[in-house]
Chains A and B, each alone.
Chain A
Amino acid sequence: AQSVTQLDSHVSVSEGTPVLLRCNYSSSYSPSLFWYVQHPNKGLQLLLKYTSAATLVKGINGFEAEFKKSETSFHLTKPSAHMSDAAEYFCVVNPYNNDMRFGAGTRLTVKP
């Protein structure tokens, strides 16, 4: 079965330092992978997606993620955190039947 595991429930960084949010996936074939962000009282917003093209995917707001098949990982990174990045982040795998599987989420806190 296709699924994702977000390895950290909470990540805290200082403003201006790098962000790393970890995600491992399980899939019997090459999946479609996404990262979504959810700010308080707002809907989910797509940050980036991987669909078997380039393994390094660039998204909005300076985020990027690298698909590593050998490690079954799709970690989200950003070189320099901003206060506005504080939110809940979800890694998502989308099997062919469109049953999008969300991870449990990682809450990112950015300290001034």
Chain B
Amino acid sequence: ETGVTQSPTHLIKTRGQQVTLRCSSQSGHNTVSWYQQALGQGPQFIFQYYREEENGRGNFPPRFSGLQFPNYSSELNVNALELDDSALYLCASSFSRGWDTEAFFGQGTRLTVV
């Protein structure tokens, strides 16, 4: 176990709805990254938060947004859900934003959009 917890573990939403996924980072970690893993593919970087500020963003539309709270937990919000948003969403925390820092992953939230 990494100490990174995500909730919920599974979720079913209807196209057009909005969803919020949550992540509690490992104790002592101030950096959280979110990834989308479609079935049969590697994870793709959505964005990273460092000390409550966005610190990099991948190639995802603005309807993917996030927050990081003072306790360094984080939320991923997705508006206007599309069928292609169905995926495993992974959260990873690390103790710094350094490029050589190990990221510790949660078990993910599996989102199904119908």
Contact = CB atoms under 8 A, between A and B. Distances in A.
Interface string A79-107: 00000000000100011111111111100
A51 B45 contact: no
B7 interface: no
A32 B42 contact: no
A56 to B, nearest CB: 17
Chain A, interface size category, equals 20 to 34
B48 A43 contact: no
A41 B42 contact: no
B105 interface: yes
Interface of A: 32, 34, 36, 41-46, 49, 51, 90, 94-105
Interface of B: 2, 4, 33, 35, 40-45, 48, 55-56, 58, 90, 92, 97, 99-100, 102-108
